[in-house]
Chains A and B, each alone.
Chain A
């Protein structure tokens, strides 16, 4: 994966497969502590302890078509190459939380990338799932809650191309605002 937003898109697919109805993505950039954290939390079916213990193993997957599942392992590798770590926690039947930690200034820390695209596509491809996207940069915060968007749309689908494009632009602008007018 070229950047972190692609990892996030990939992990979100796990949450979708786990029949979540609410997926929360939080990115926090703290330049003072030199820390970048990414949290992806869902309310899907979760994992039992046995699966949780081995879920970071690339040869473990819930798929039946083949024996490898690389999403989490690749994300973990990307964290570790930036002096960070990745942990997964889960309560069976309730929730799963993926927590990634990276050193913000590390030379090998992948850029966040086009997170607006990641979120817009995830939102529009999954009309029945609600998303909360929170992005913090040194105390400034941008928040997007699809429940508000859906209320405003009042029955019109978030899957429509023009809505997808609007969400993408809205997130891009929101991030720029909390980042001192700069793109990521």
Chain B
């Protein structure tokens, strides 16, 4: 049975890494479109998968956030990846299956997964 006091453990772990985690300017942002169009197309499981993957790999400098309608509803679910100093990358027609590859190739190793981007699919 889970209890709220388990959060203490997470808290202690986080605080022990606090210097690594500070709101760093060089952090990567993963932005998921979560308006009616995105939700209906399946954005929620995609976002959930990004969060699980990032938690599993303990990536401390990555944030997953939501935004509204990105404006290309027919290509939803859309995910934008912002790596500081680089151009924004837009992934379209996302599914949870595509997430692990984007995290390992793009987020961790810096190599954009071209075939999933808006340039390749639109």
Contact = CB atoms under 8 A, between A and B. Distances in A.
Contact of B4 (A63, A118, A148, A162): A148
Contacts of A65: 69, 71
B65 A125 contact: yes
Interface string A104-120: 00000000001001101
B70 to A, nearest CB: 10
Interface in B32-69: 34-36, 39-40, 44-45, 47-48, 51-52, 54-55, 63-66, 68-69
A121 B4 contact: no
A65 B33 CA distance: 15
B1 A173 contact: yes
A117 B45 contact: yes
A77 interface: no
Nearest to B47: A121
B5 interface: yes
Nearest to A116: B48
Contact of A9 (B10, B34, B63): B34
A9 B39 contact: yes
Contact of B39 (A10, A161, A165, A177): A10
Nearest to B11: A156
Contacts of B26: none
B36 A152 contact: no
Contact of B11 (A10, A71, A154): A154
A180 to B, nearest CB: 15
Nearest to B37: A70
Contacts, number: 88
A124 interface: yes
B11 A153 contact: yes
A6 B55 contact: no
Categorize the interface residue count of chain A.
Answer: 35 or more
A35 B2 CA distance: 29
Given A114-B44, A121-B47, A170-B2, A161 B7 contact: no
B122 to A, nearest CB: 19
A92 interface: no
A184 interface: no
Given A121-B44, A166-B2, A170-B4, 13 more contacts: A13-B35, A13-B68, A65-B71, A117-B44, A117-B48, A121-B66, A152-B4, A161-B64, A162-B13, A163-B7, A168-B48, A170-B2, A173-B2
21 contacts: A6-B39, A10-B35, A13-B35, A13-B36, A63-B69, A69-B36, A118-B44, A121-B44, A121-B51, A125-B34, A152-B5, A152-B7, A152-B11, A154-B11, A156-B14, A160-B10, A160-B14, A162-B14, A164-B55, A165-B51, A169-B2
Interface of A: 1, 6, 9-10, 13, 17, 63, 65, 69-71, 74, 114, 117-118, 120-121, 124-125, 148-149, 152-154, 156, 159-166, 168-170, 173-174, 177
